[in-house]
Structure 1
Amino acid sequence: MNKQVKSKIMLLIMISFVLFLAACSSGSTGGEASSNGNKGGGNSGEKLVIGFSQVGAESEWRTANTESVKKAITDAGHELKFSDAQQKQENQIKAIRSFIAQKVDAIVFSPVVETGFETVLKEAKTAGIPVFLADRAVDIEDDSLWVTFLGSDFVEEGRKAANWLIEEMEDVDGEVNIVELQGTVGSAPAIDRKEGFEEVMADHPNFKIIKSQSGDFTRAKGKEVMEAFLKSDGDNIDVLYSHNDDMAIGAIQAIEEYGLKPGEDIKIIGVDAVKGAFEAMAAGKMNVTVECNPLFGPQLVDLIEAHISGEKLEKRISVEESIYTMDQAEELLPTRKY
């Protein structure tokens, strides 16, 4: 065998050995931190452990959202660790710290309020655990503490509610008196839905919010606050703007007990588009509801898997939503999933 042939054989052996080492290296799943600072092997096909801290179960919307996220996580073959904060921030912070201690692969949470989470989110970042915001945002200067926000544009929902009202009552002479049932104090939807509504109303000075108080997003509190509104200003209220449908449904009960006709004597605007709102509209007791879609669980899981695989995500991702009126309710009611 001459030297030229020997050299070619040795070259082929060396190339084969290098390719073998490269293949072994690329197949490693040792669970070490990836180049972007996150846990896991960076493979969307792997089984993940996902911690999910939900606000609570204050409404039909929230229940539907919880089930959508939980089902999407388990359907994708991942392990779910779930915690219900019962609308208390301290419970949510405790749950997130528990997820960190358990070394989950990702944390999902819907913040009870916008502020006060910076410390615990820094702890998650230090642990290399990516955090995903679902439905509600946080007000923190350092946006590296979470990967992305998935949910609704609450400001736009407020604008939609206001624009519908202005169009509905454009022929009314004089002042239009509005009472407002706000959501949980300090929460993103309460802040933003009020902001969007007032932004539109600023150009229509004859539309005035005469009373505004939190109903904490619950049906019972909505009824209680509306009773107080009616006791002090019952004959002067033209419109109720409620930050969610459950409070509006509670308020409808209070209006009927007061002796007025909801939907006629007082226009009723809700947000969420839950089945209960469609039932109220079909009965002529509610005028409109602005959709806030809770069924984004599969989309959320896709985003988590994409991030773990190394894909860069936008900081804010919105879901598409509509607005529904009384005259659509009866036809659409059978199609509502929540």
Structure 2
Amino acid sequence: MNKEVFWKNRRFWAGALAVGATLGLVTGCSGGGGGDEAGGAKAGADCEETYTIAFSHPAGEVAAVKAVKKAVEDRAAENGCVNLLLDNTVDSNLETQRKSVENWVTQKVDAIVVWPVDVAAMEGLREQAQAQGTKWLTYASPNPEEDGSVGFDNDTAGEELAAELEAWVDDNYPDRNIKAAVTTWTALPSLEGRWKNILDKLDEMGIEVVSEQDCLSQDCGMTIAEDAIRKNPDDLKIFVGANDDVGTGALRALNNAGVDMSGFFVAGYDGTEEALTSLKDGTGYTRSAAIPLAELGHSIIDNSIAAITGEGNPSNLTPMIIVSPDDKDQIDELLALF
């Protein structure tokens, strides 16, 4: 991504957040009840109006998602008039997510923000929620019937990371006689741009992919990398994870195996604290397609309030940026969000 465009977008988005926060403090309409399933924030006693906002993410075990949820809690607490509900869904478990959303619909909360494990399985609940006045916002998985959305551009990020990978290969292995490992997460097809663009670029360059498996955690990232290194000790030179949890897990395996990281490309998505720290310290991570996670979390509250009140924009895309070890100032700014 062109950095000038990114920072222009960041300035625009920061202004939009400020507007959303102001709307949240001065307007609103009260809806359903409280309760909280996996942490959250409670509205204060001095609110003329309160909002009950619920958020469900299918991969709650992922470091970036934990950071987003913390940012959601911070924004709700800053607003002071939000009852926040968070669910416990991990590993894209549809049963767990559906139970949470059913409870929120029964409680008649004011807004539900959800990244459905299975869109079709949630359509009945969406219709029921909207029929009773609950606003339905999507996270990273747009729905034509939504009342608002929160998201980030996986396709563009995948294209940009693929371009970075190609430039790195041209600089380091111009004969392209190397191999790669890539992880996916097919349970969430809206993320497909993250790995499809990488796989397409590797195919275009004639680089063999020796491992292509579903994985979103550090543990499986480490295991997959260990196996790939063992089977391809001399020519495995690329590992791209579906997120930075996978990438940093792979980095641990590479370091444990004594791999020379100056000749290895390891990358992922989201901009987790561990990935950014490795980039800053020069300990082996090569690239991260980073999301300003605090801003993403804040938009869950701000967009929900905009949808509830009818004031402001209930939809936005948070920009992503490819960061490398050379981008010290950008890394520091992204790390400050944790």
What range describes the TM-score normalised by the shorter chain of this pair? 0.7 to 0.9
The residue number in structure 2 matching 1:268 is 266
- Answer yes or no: is 1:301 the counterpart of 2:306: no
1:1-338 maps to which residues of 2 (within 5 A)? 46-76=49-79, 77-87=81-91, 88-112=93-117, 116-134=121-139, 136-137=140-141, 143-144=144-145, 146-171=146-171, 172-182=174-184, 184-188=185-189, 190-201=191-202, 204-215=204-215, 217-261=216-260, 263-281=261-279, 282-295=281-294, 296-311=296-311, 313=313, 317-329=316-328, 332-333=331-332, 336=335, 337-338=337-338
- How much does 1:165 deviate? 0.9
Distance 1:49 1:278, change over 3 A: closer
- How much does 1:233 deviate? 2.5
The one-letter code sitting in structure 2 at the alignment partner of 1:73 is A
The one-letter code sitting in structure 1 at the alignment partner of 2:52 is V
The separation in 1 between residues aligned to 2:206 and 2:257, in whole angstroms, is 26
The residue number in structure 2 matching 1:22 is none
Distance 1:206 1:199, change over 3 A: closer
**161-170 vs 185-194, greater mean Cα deviation:** 185-194
Gaps (5+ residues) in structure 1?
1-28, 32-43
Answer whether contact 2:30 2:51 (CA < 8 A) is retained.
Answer: no
- How much does 1:96 deviate? 0.5
- How much does 1:166 deviate? 0.9
The one-letter code sitting in structure 2 at the alignment partner of 1:78 is V
The separation in 1 between residues aligned to 2:178 and 2:48, in whole angstroms, is 56
Gaps (5+ residues) in structure 2?
1-28, 32-46
Distance 1:113 1:231, change over 3 A: farther
The one-letter code sitting in structure 2 at the alignment partner of 1:64 is A
Question: What is the aligned residue count?
Answer: 288
The one-letter code sitting in structure 2 at the alignment partner of 1:106 is A
**Secondary structure in structure 1 of the residue aligned to 2:49:** coil
Answer whether contact 2:240 2:267 (CA < 8 A) is retained.
Answer: yes
Instruction: Return the structure number with greater relative CO, CA threshold 8 A, min gap 6.
Output: 2
Quote the RMSD (CA, aligned, Å): 2.8
Higher Rg of the two aligned structures: 1
Answer whether contact 2:222 2:249 (CA < 8 A) is retained.
Answer: yes
**Secondary structure in structure 2 of the residue aligned to 1:327:** coil
- How much does 1:239 deviate? 0.7
- Residues 122-158 of structure 1, C-alpha deviations (whole Å, 9 max, x = no match): 3323333111122x316x6xx21x2222111011111
- How much does 1:312 deviate? 8.1
